[in-house]
Amino acid sequence: MSQVIIRNGTVVDGTGTPGRRADVAIDEGRILAIGDEAVDAIDVDTAVEIDAEGLVVAPGFIDIHTHYDAQAFWDSTLSPSPLHGVTTVVGGNCGFTIAPLSAGGARVDPGDADYLMRMLARVEGMPLESLQVGVPWDWTSTGEYLDRLDGTLMPNAGFLVGHSALRRVVMHDAATEREATEAELAEMERLLRAGLSAGGMGFSSTWSTSHNDHTGNAVPSRHASRDELVRLCAVVSEFPGTTLEFIPQVGEFTQETFELMGDMSAAANRPLNWNLLQVYAQNWDLVQHQLRGFDIAAERGGHVLALTLPDTFRLRINFTSGFIFDILHGWDRLMALPVEEKLRQLRDPETRAEWDRLAQMTEGPVRAIGNWGSYILLETFDPTTKQFEGRTVGEVAAELGKSPWDTMVDIAIADELRTVFANQDRGQDEATWKRRVEVWRDHRAVVGASDAGAHLDMIDSFSFSTTLLAKAVREHDLMPIEEAVHHLTDRPARLYGLRDRGRLVEGAHADVVVFDPERVGPAEVSMRFDLPGGAGRVYGGAVGIEHVLVNGVPCVRGEDLLDPRPGTLLRSGRDTDTVTAR
């Protein structure tokens, strides 16, 4: 492993302290020296030299909520995350892992592997053809899955053990039908222990009503009892360097939800972060209500943090995959129907009206999903619908003299349900960005929630790190760059106990991003058809990210992903320290 010297940059070390002009010397993947002694610490004649004049030299960014579990097999760069300065990712979130594939080391049940593949395609928006062609599906245990990826990836990556996978391989079809028996729960506990012993980073699960499988049923973890969740969390307490991640529900949390998360965290004696807190100036009362989960958990011996995305969660949704639409009342099974059956029902006036009637029965804040007129027609495909692209459904409806619902459906039918609808971005005003910064500074929240690797036709939140720097620091001038870097590096590293990562200090792993503070930000987003089977994804790089190093090895130069794959497959206990809830 070669030596590296980064000269003339402003070192922002991740701790929040003021940046300083200094050189950084790297040797054998570690920070050797920072400051005047850096040049003397290495052989300058053979070292790789990076000129960082006018640039910031910071720790690599850390993304604790990704779904790269499958993509890792066909794209070892885990793009586009490294282009945005991300050097460490955590996958296996929401309970949606693809390991284990069998219980007890037995032969893989083809039905279980097929179910997990199709569930993942449905609930996380990964093209089924890509999962079929690009993933080998030939391991049995979590340990074997981790071993398959060890030494193959560009960024560092750790993976949680997912609840739905545990349930499926133990209970098979019954996983989506009922609660577990005592014997089945004991077997899940055993499998979880095996996964954590092999280096799984912790345990993840979901009870969110937005998570339905390819048959329209709630995913396996949603059928679990409260006792099952708490008992599985208790297993986590037995293993050092582990953590919890959970999606409890959609909308305003109930007291029971707060208490459940507190009890899960207390049983594990580990922090629990929940996904997702969206912040706008207009929903400040809801934000404050959701943050109460920390206080309620603390009373019960837990430590519960809200994971918050530092931008609007922009959605590109359609009637084909149906994700997000299936939160509407009665729409979970409708969205699981084959495309031809959906088209048949939507062409029938009575059935079409019934779909709308069900949607309007939805209660709570998620009822806004059924506000048809507010959607933007982001992308259309038929010659008859191209004229409407870029306009709202409501505007087109008024022009055509039809209801927004009928207008939306008629356009979707003409496009064979491929029409891409987008929610309007109402989160770019100054007041909203001020509120977001206020939440980042709250000890009850942590920045993250990119969902990178998931919903590939729907979201662009993989750019959360460069967006934070561009919007909060440069455009709105709401926080110093040192504080922004702290939220992207040291804060998540300390929450997950990532050993010797998240800070630029002597002896730390040399995960480094060098960026231009005057230019850094997300680049233009577009569809790219580069997935196995020819499937497409929403994709976008960054501007102003000049160099990214992982474990001291240059991996990104400008817009280019380089050849090395120096990432560490992070394993709990070996690469993480224990962070307790109390």
| 427: helix, strand or coil | coil
Q: For 167-186, what is each residue's pLDDT tens digit?
A: 999 999 999 999 999 999 99
- Provide CB contacts within 8 A for 383, sequence distance 6+: none
Total residues belonging to the chain: 582
Which of 120, 121, 102, 104 is CA-nearest to residue 112? Answer: 102
Cα–Cα distance, 48 to 555 (Å, whole number): 13
What pLDDT is recorded for position 316? Answer: 87
User: Where are the extended beta strands (E) located within 15-66?
Assistant: 20-27, 30-34, 48-51, 56-59, 61-63
Q: For 530-566, what is each residue's pLDDT tens digit?
A: 999 998 899 999 999 999 999 999 999 999 999 999 9
132, pLDDT greater than 80: yes
What pLDDT is recorded for position 424? Answer: 87
Binned at pLDDT 50, 70 and 90, residue 486 comes out as very high
Neighbours of 244 (CB within 10 A): 27
Q: For 563-582, what is each residue's pLDDT tens digit?
A: 999 999 999 999 999 999 99
What pLDDT is recorded for position 98? Answer: 97
Residue whose token pair is 């049983």: 267
Of 8-22, 503-517, 527-541, the least confident:
527-541
Q: For 197-235, what is each residue's pLDDT tens digit?
A: 999 999 999 999 989 999 989 999 999 999 999 999 999
What pLDDT is recorded for position 535? Answer: 87
Q: For 403-421, what is each residue's pLDDT tens digit?
A: 999 999 999 999 999 999 9
In eight-state DSSP terms, residue 470 is I
Q: For 331-384, what is each residue's pLDDT tens digit?
A: 988 998 999 999 999 999 999 999 999 999 999 888 999 999 999 999 899 999
What pLDDT is recorded for position 529? Answer: 86
- Tell whether pTM > 0.85: yes
Cα–Cα distance, 36 to 43 (Å, whole number): 15
Q: For 334-348, what is each residue's pLDDT tens digit?
A: 998 999 999 999 999
Cα–Cα distance, 400 to 22 (Å, whole number): 63
Q: For 435-448, what is each residue's pLDDT tens digit?
A: 999 999 999 999 99
What pLDDT is recorded for position 222? Answer: 98
Residue whose token pair is 């987008």: 422
105 vs 268, more confident: 268
**Average per-residue pLDDT in the chain?**
96
What pLDDT is recorded for position 372? Answer: 98
Q: What domains does the chain contain, in order, with CATH numbers?
A: 4-59+508-561 (2.30.40.10), 62-315+431-496 (3.20.20.140), 318-422 (no CATH)
Binned at pLDDT 50, 70 and 90, residue 106 comes out as low
What pLDDT is recorded for position 471? Answer: 98
φ/ψ of residue 540, rounded to 5 = -160, 135
